[in-house]
A and B are shown apart, each in its own frame.
Chain A
Amino acid sequence: KQEVTQIPAALSVPEGENLVLNCSFTDSAIYNLQWFRQDPGKGLTSLLLIQSSQREQTSGRLNASLDKSSGRSTLYIAASQPGDSATYLCAVRPQGGSEKLVFGKGTKLTVNP
């Protein structure tokens, strides 16, 4: 059974700092891995999707990497801003015909001005 773990559960950093969020998964048989952002009381905003054949994806100040063999992904945020404060969730889509995303519990990020 696929399990996704995100460490740390919460992170607080000063504005301007570069930071890394971690995601690990137990079964490397995945189609893709997706990073989401969720603001309090809101839905999920898709940030980046990395296909199983890819190593990384970039969007603006965000860079996500995927090491499928070791079951790890990182989300790198450069020059953090208070507006980056949110909960960040990673989710994998397992192979085997399942349409289900398996989510981690998220990392709550606070960027202090």
Chain B
Amino acid sequence: DTEVTQTPKHLVMGMTNKKSLKCEQHMGHRAMYWYKQKAKKPPELMFVYSYEKLSINESVPSRFSPECPNSSLLNLHLHALQPEDSALYLCASSRWTGDLYSNQPQHFGDGTRLSIL
């Protein structure tokens, strides 16, 4: 069982819909991440939050809007998505120990399988 919980597990939406993906962890991690993974490809980083503040946006289109309401929760708001956005969306978290945070492993959830009609 993963310690990072993502909901929903599957989501089908039309291009005009608005939906949100949710991610929750209770390991006290202060860095949280969104990744996108297409079939048979490695994960691609989308966003990084450190201490609830957005620290990295990998030039992601504005139709993806992240939100970190508190240290345990990470949301990804979706609006006007395109068929090519269909993918597995993975959330991850890691500890922050000042300068040493880069040596902490990332823990992943099981992902949300998103299909855009």
Binding site for B on A (CB under 8 A): 31-32, 34, 36, 41-46, 49, 51, 89, 91, 93, 99-101, 103-106
**Pair count A-B, CB < 8 A:** 57
Apart from A46-B106, A99-B55, 6 more pairs, CB < 8 Å? A44-B108, A46-B105, A49-B105, A93-B103, A99-B48, A100-B56
Q: Considering only CB atoms, which chain B residue lies closest to A51 in the complex?
A: B103
> In the bound complex, do residue A31 and residue B102 qualify as a contact, i.e. CB atoms below 8 Å apart?
yes
Give the interface size class of chain B.
20 to 34
Collect the chain A residues with CB atoms within 8 Å of residue B56's CB: 99-100
In the complex formed, the residue of B with least CB distance to A48 is B105
Residues of B58-117 contacting chain A, CB below 8 A: 58, 88, 90, 92, 102-111, 113
In the bound complex, what is the Cα–Cα distance between A105 and B43 (angstroms)? 9
Nearest first, the 5 A-B pairs at minimum CB distance are: A103-B42, A44-B108, A43-B108, A43-B110, A31-B102
Which residue from chain A places its CB closest to the CB of B56 in the assembled complex? Answer: A99
A43 B105 Cβ-Cβ under 8 A: no
B residues 23-47 in Cβ contact with A at 8 Å: 31, 41-43, 45
In the complex formed, the residue of B with least CB distance to A30 is: B102
